[in-house]
Amino acid sequence: MSASKSRQEPITDRHLKTETDCGKIFRAQDGIMGENTVPDDSKMIINLLLLGKTQSGKSAAGNTLLGSIDFASHLLPCSVTSSCHLGRSCHISGFARRRGNELTLQVQVLDTPGYPHSNLSKEQVQQAVKTALVQHFGEKGLHLALLVLRADVALCREEDEPTIQLVQELLGHNWKNHTAILFTHADQVDQARIKREEYMDIASVALHKLVQSVQQKYIFVDNCAATLKQENRAALSKIMEFLRQNSYQVIPFK
């Protein structure tokens, strides 16, 4: 169960937009879809993986990306997530086109136990994630891994290196092309009157190096935003931009 060499998904002529509209469509739950299921030739599925430390806001970020509350997210003095869970969004219109025809977008997010974990060893976390990647994404592959960091906590090499190392080991030598940084608790940045576009100007050397290594791919998410749809739309728009820059390549798992 290892990451194979990344390959390019056969999708062409996509034009990104910034609008989502889940009001027109239905919700897919646990892989079971109703009679209005969208045909595969008019649908685009993107597969995302969440990785991060315990209490980084990883599961809450997953809910933002899905536009719904799929993952348990609580403030506790221990790790909340102890196993991998797959969440699926509704079918979203207004994000991509193929040969002039609009595609509906479905987002699949794999939430994982935080690492370091309060109860699980590195080997247990790593094996759980590997198994889930094969089970849920397999040959269809992973489009993007999101390394979740708190925007209101300084990156410390000693504390954060194990998580970064886990990403590298799971994704292999192509990890930089398929990884972006997702900063949670962006509301704390706003409250400190720091503009998000100026955040990296005052970031630590360690964070600068990490962001540069993933080709400046990073986004901010306010997990406490009053308008979940607005945060969802902005985050997905940025993620789709990253995927386009990488020619929609995926890392298959087998």
User: pLDDT, tens digit, for every residue of 66-78?
Assistant: 988 888 876 666 6
Q: What is the pLDDT of residue 6?
A: 60
User: pLDDT, tens digit, for every residue of 151-185?
Assistant: 998 888 778 899 999 999 999 999 999 999 999 99
Q: What is the pLDDT of residue 78?
A: 63
In terms of Cβ atoms closer than 10 Å to its own Cβ (0-12, 13-18, 19+), residue 49 is buried
Side chain identity, residue 97: R
Assess contact for 93 and 25: CB atoms under 8 A.
yes
Mean pLDDT of the chain: 82
Q: How far apart are CA 43 and CA 45, in angstroms?
A: 7
Q: What are phi and psi of 187, to 5 degrees?
A: -60, -30
Total-model pTM: 0.83
Length of the chain as a residue count: 254
Q: How far apart are CA 87 and CA 110, in angstroms?
A: 6
Assess contact for 192 and 154: CB atoms under 8 A.
no
Assess contact for 70 and 87: CB atoms under 8 A.
yes
The continuous run of DSSP H or E covering 179 comes out as strand 179-184
Q: How far apart are CA 146 and CA 37, in angstroms?
A: 28
| Paired residues of 180 in beta bridges | 146
